[in-house]
Amino acid sequence: MRMRLSIKLLLFFLIFCSIAEAQEGWVVRNSGTNEDLTDVIMVSQNVGWAVGGSRDTPYKGIILNTKDGGASWEKQKEITNSFLRGLHFINDQIGWAVGYQGLVLKTVDGGSSWTAQSSGASEQFFAVFFLNEDLGWAVGTRALIVHTTDGGDTWVEQPNPYTGTRKKFRSVQFVDSQTGWVVGHDRVILKTTDGGNSWGTQFYERYDEDLRKIVFLDSQIGWAIGERGIILKTTSGGNSWTHQNSRTDEDLWGGVFVNQNVGWAVGDNGVVIRTTNGGTNWLSQKNSDNALLNAVYFIDENHGLAVGDGGTIISTTSGGVHGDDVPQNNPPEIISQSAMDALEGQVFTYTAHAVDPDGDAIHYTFQDIPSWALVSDSVLSGTVPLGYPSFSFRV
């Protein structure tokens, strides 16, 4: 009679993640300034801009430009009497920067020249977003929202439930000409479905803390990121929001997603966290600079920039992943595998699906396999000899 074998699998995990030794992770760059940098954007893997300046009087603003993915930076403009806080480009030529005292600057030549636009406001602007060459919004202190339909030549204030209050609106984004969101003080999230003519409160937690960044991929899927490590996610256009575990208590100041799965957030003490499964899991990334990071931007899953206080700029061409990044306290796991039994004289085959803590599939190998077994393309197989009561192997 043939015996059913007792097979033991030792989850040793010799991990061969798709991480090349040459990957550097985040690299500290020389910005050429000691001023605080508050926002950053990329329009290609090579071309990007950063803004910032001096927060203290006398205010000063600066605009920096890179043409080599952040390796080197050139100062495009320096202004007085205003600190620049927000930045947005719609292509490699046309962009806007906003700051204190209602300042709006526009370029139509890639930043070679910048022209002041009259916003009609005296408040501090924190963020600006343009959907195209004509439609744009800017937000700031005293719950200010302003809107333009002519590329910034004229701006009109859009009332909201908090107009004139102490609330600071920190971030704004639209996914089409009608649908947009604003976030800010007391963890408030506002939404409009008519281009900003009316705004309604979607989320509100009365804490003396801010949501700093709103990121939407489409009309349904988005994230709100803020102080004390808060990350909220919606898959219903904001009708409901779910708290995600960021695994940090640091204040988060910026965030970005390149698709439904892959995103980053940055904040105090140089913290950088990344997710590859839509925020279900967030893992920290190595950053040798512990300056406060105000903003992060990725043009794809690999090429990104982050900026912060004291002129800090870090860049990556590997999604922030370092060559020796292997989580020590959150090991990989096998989430499915083939049957673990066989009969003497029959062919035994073993395959598995293994994932890292982010949920990404990883490659694995075998050790201590029986002499009669063969390995090909991560499959262990062979005909079990008679009189072989049990065996084990390691993955």
Report the range of poorest mean pLDDT among 124-133, 192-201, 326-335.
326-335
| Res 1 pLDDT > 60 | no
Q: Any bridge partners for residue 264, and if so which?
A: 256, 274
Q: Are 212 and 225 in contact (CB under 8 A)?
A: yes
Q: How do residues 239-274 score in pLDDT, each as one tens digit?
A: 999 999 999 999 999 999 999 999 999 999 999 999
Q: What percent of the chain has pLDDT over 90?
A: 72
CA distance 48 to 70: 7
DSSP label at 367?
B
The residue-averaged pLDDT of 280-293 equals 94
Q: Are 235 and 218 in contact (CB under 8 A)?
A: no
| Res 338 pLDDT > 60 | no
| Res 281 pLDDT > 60 | yes
Confidence of residue 329 (pLDDT cuts 50, 70, 90): very low
Better-scored residue on pLDDT, 18 or 76 = 76
All structural domains of the chain: 6-16+329-394 (2.60.40), 27-316 (2.130.10.10)
Q: How do residues 179-213 score in pLDDT, each as one tens digit?
A: 999 999 999 999 999 999 999 999 998 777 899 99
Strand pairing report for 352-355 and 60-66: unpaired
Cβ neighbors of 211 (< 8 A, separation 6 or more) are: 170, 171, 183, 184, 187, 188, 189, 224, 225, 226, 227, 230, 232
